[in-house]
Structure 1
């Protein structure tokens, strides 16, 4: 069955002509994605720097993937508040961060009552030494397969340890396939080209460097219906990457332009909702 997706622009009483991500508009009230049984919502949060993805299932099951960039804690908390999140079941950290803020993670654990942290083996070892609260820390390796929600399973396709590498995992919900990629290296691409990552419905691109963007070969192999790029502080999206994505007829969403992008999934279809943020003064 061909999947239906509907693009909805949520204006919430203000203009959508936004070109730069910044703190959440005060005009936005609570956002209720109303996730029921057999549904899931994935929100790529429109932070001014860094990445944070919120995965929501029924019965207030909330998973946060990464915590944003430097100085974006208040923005992250604003978005979580807007999405009615006061508890996080799981925090997934996909990078071996060299500048990880254990202070921030400890504060998030306390504030959102996080029950489990999932990370690379290296980062899991570091967390065990720096967390002030005893909790479950799980390390994901290539091939790890975990049921993260009652009807959603995450499978690690690649777990890199080199610079510009980390956890790349496929989130499967019924027949939907959401690929969250962190690694950006030739080695990672060679591994992924041998994996079952073809024809994904949603592709979260890695934060690639200006000199080493994701390759045309991998983009065409993934053949994504929807592509999401987080805001990059240093430069905008690589024109060649955009061209390759357009060549696959992928719908492209960029947090620096569209703000937060929420995709709500049912068993048979999904819809895209964009929530702009205020332009920087």
Structure 2
């Protein structure tokens, strides 16, 4: 009995220590800025003209962004990428949206790439707001001509932005319901919902979005289960479209496949104003 009590005591202490470590260091399980700090390519390498701009957030952090114009653009896509890599890893999106007739603003989260600061939940929201302000205030893009696109973690970022603003459309690709929900599924041996200091509650934000919504998810997603996409779609208001993808979570740039690119193009053509934008000021 004494041996069993000792084993239980030591085991309990070890588990408590593990919980403390996870609680303190969970940011390292969410953000992976060091997975790609180096800028490997620019849109110019893909034959696209672009403008590198530096945005200052409301809390005085400077973040990098790339504006990739399309001729006679119907609108502008504001893309929030996932939790790893940087904007130089998302050039396929620039090519795709260029072919669809949309300009693109790729913005970098704080602490990623060459941007200043350290990533945080409120920080990523502020970064997205700075990108929105740049398009609306500095480039004069009408909100109804802006398409918010979020990839994985970026889905929660732009869902919150769309709930506060009124973009022309919102697209969530391979996104999760919330961090606590996803963590509880990935780490069932931990009280993840209780430990979570990060929310990224896309489900709650989506319920407040009045813009047309497209949810895209794959049944083969090996990180964010397909049911997350289904729950997000159920929470979205009409008009809404569900686009079923194929392949794993990190197969990369799933939208660039022809069938899905056509479906996305049809969705945007249906819900954004017809015709090209007027020239806008710099």
**Interval of TM-score (by shorter of Structure 1 and Structure 2):** 0.3 to 0.5
Larger helix proportion of the pair? 2
Larger strand proportion of the pair? 1
- State the TM-score, normalizing by the size of structure 1: 0.35
* Max Rg structure: 2
- State the TM-score, normalizing by the size of structure 2: 0.35
Structure with bigger RCO (C-alpha 8 Å, 6+ apart): 1
